[in-house]
Amino acid sequence: MLARKHGREGAAPPATALPSAERPSVAADGLHRIVIVGGGAGGLVLATRLGHRLGRRRRARITLIDANLTHVWKPLLHEVAVGTLDSHKDDVIYLGHAKGHGFSFQQGRMDGLDRERKEVRLAPMLDEKGREVIPARTVPYDTLVIAVGGLCNDFGTPGVKEHCMFLDTHQQAEQVQKCLLNACLRAQAQAEPLREGQLHVAIVGAGATGVELAAELHRATRELVAYGLDRIDPERDVKISLIEAGPTVLPALPPRLSEATMRELLRLGIAVHTGEKVVEVTEQGVRCAGGLFVPAEIKVWSAGVKAPDFLKDIAGLETNRLNQLVVDQTLRTTRDPDIYAIGDCAACPQPGSDRPVPPRAQAAYQEAMTLARTLRRRLEGQAPVPFVYKDYGSLVSLSYSSVGNLMGNLLGNVMIEGKIARLTYQSLYKKHQLAVHGFVWVALNTLINFLRRRTEPRLKLH
């Protein structure tokens, strides 16, 4: 999530026939079955693209599988978590979107794979009370694309699972929002003084998610006071702490960007603790290896990224220490020519670098666009398109403003801040929506949201 600029498709290489052993198979009805597991930034774009090019033309049967019924762009989850964005206003309803874009959707959570029978195993779907809604089942495929994304890595730290919240899904983000709102309502209503750490928030991990969440929290607490929670003094009662094991915030990004972000965080009054490795999380707060203890009622973990645990050595496929599926330059898994992986769950090599493609939204988008071309060519018996990642820069939202650097433009590597960076940041979401919905939908939706802001609260208050 550190960067979100989107790339463009390049020219297709000369057509080269595939070896007969690698030519795709077809189902009994004569249509090749392409199954995509995961409807995130990469999977949804890929399903939409293939639905337009193959599904509508009856050249293949495209199926998207996701555990949720709706899609929310993951880089915006920090806004959902504090209530400045209502995820239900701009979310994509998979069933409706699939009907209009040439593919089908099935709700399910992948928990296994049978490569010999070429079937994806899905766990039973349960409701809030644990009752079975959809039974366990299998989905056959001819070509499988795994795009299940990544999760926060707690590194086995004691107390994290019991006392921290996460921002991996929009359900988790909504849980954070409800917890924050309830904490403020409780503080407003109680007769006794606030106890130590009662309205304190500790965020572990100063990557893009942690930094953006901290800045958005600063804004949201001040908005809440404007809606009548006048017994809370944001300057005195609310303390936001950002804890990072590395030497600086945004350690994966250029130093100029990290320094500008640090200045803005300090200006907002956010406590930043760098070089502090968390060793334990308790109900009262966060303890670090150097002896620092940060008291906090609300703890959010945003450090590290790994692929879901069920992918580890799944069906004999090659994975790395982060559970990511190892793929070659064409995004195909190293041990099965019919299985591909994109996004945060894939470890794709970069030519000239010993590090794989970074887990960013722009990388998932570029991989989806390249793989869409490869799969269309595969049906025609042509060679795949090699994937080459292009870094178009990084942008970080700091609520009231943004900072970032843009790469690959006419001016080279350009540092931007303030309103220009904020507008550029907002345009990235529009680009994602364009890839999924098209121009007309985006134009109408933008107008509707503009009118909504005139009549609705700036914060989600329920």
Residue 204 near residue 155 (C-beta atoms within 8 A): no
pLDDT in tens, the chain (462 residues): 334 333 334 444 444 455 544 555 555 567 999 999 999 989 999 999 999 999 999 999 999 999 999 988 888 888 888 887 776 777 889 999 999 999 999 999 999 999 999 999 999 999 888 899 999 999 999 999 999 999 999 999 999 999 999 998 888 998 998 998 898 889 888 888 888 888 899 999 998 889 989 988 888 888 887 777 878 888 888 999 999 999 999 887 788 888 888 988 998 899 999 999 999 999 999 999 999 999 999 999 999 889 999 999 999 999 999 999 999 999 999 999 999 999 999 999 988 788 899 888 889 999 999 999 999 999 999 999 999 998 776 777 776 555 655 544 444 455 555 566 666 666 777 777 788 888 887 788 778 777 776 666 565 655
Q: What is the pLDDT of residue 3?
A: 42
DSSP secondary structure letters along 38-100: --STTHHHHHHHHIIIIITTTSEEEEEEESSSEE--GGGHHHHHHTSS-HHHH-EEHHHHHHH
Q: Which residues pair with 280 in a beta bridge?
A: 287
CA distance 22 to 383: 10
CATH code of the domain made up of 20-150+307-390: 3.50.50.60
Buried b (16+ CB within 10 A) or exposed e, 43-79: bbbbbbbbbbbbbeeeebbbbbbbbeebbbbbbbbbb
The tokens for 449 are: 């949201």
Q: Quickly tell me which residue has 């699972």 as its tokens.
A: 161
CATH 3.50.50.60 in the chain, residues? 20-150+307-390, 160-301
DSSP 20: G
Which overall architecture, per CATH, does domain 160-301 show?
3-Layer(bba) Sandwich (3.50)
Residue 351 near residue 366 (C-beta atoms within 8 A): no
Q: Count CA within 13 A, CB hemisphere, residue 260.
A: 20
Q: What is the pLDDT of residue 292?
A: 95
290-323 pLDDT, tens digit per residue, is 999 999 999 999 998 899 999 999 999 999 999 9
CA distance 244 to 2: 15
Q: What is the pLDDT of residue 375?
A: 97
Helix (H) or strand (E) holding 420: helix 418-437
Number of other CB atoms surrounding residue 131 within 10 Å: 7
Q: What is the pLDDT of residue 6?
A: 38
CA proximity to 219, closest of 264, 254, 255: 264
Helix (H) or strand (E) holding 263: helix 255-267
Q: Edge-to-edge strands of the sheet including 109-114?
A: 109-114, 119-123, 137-140
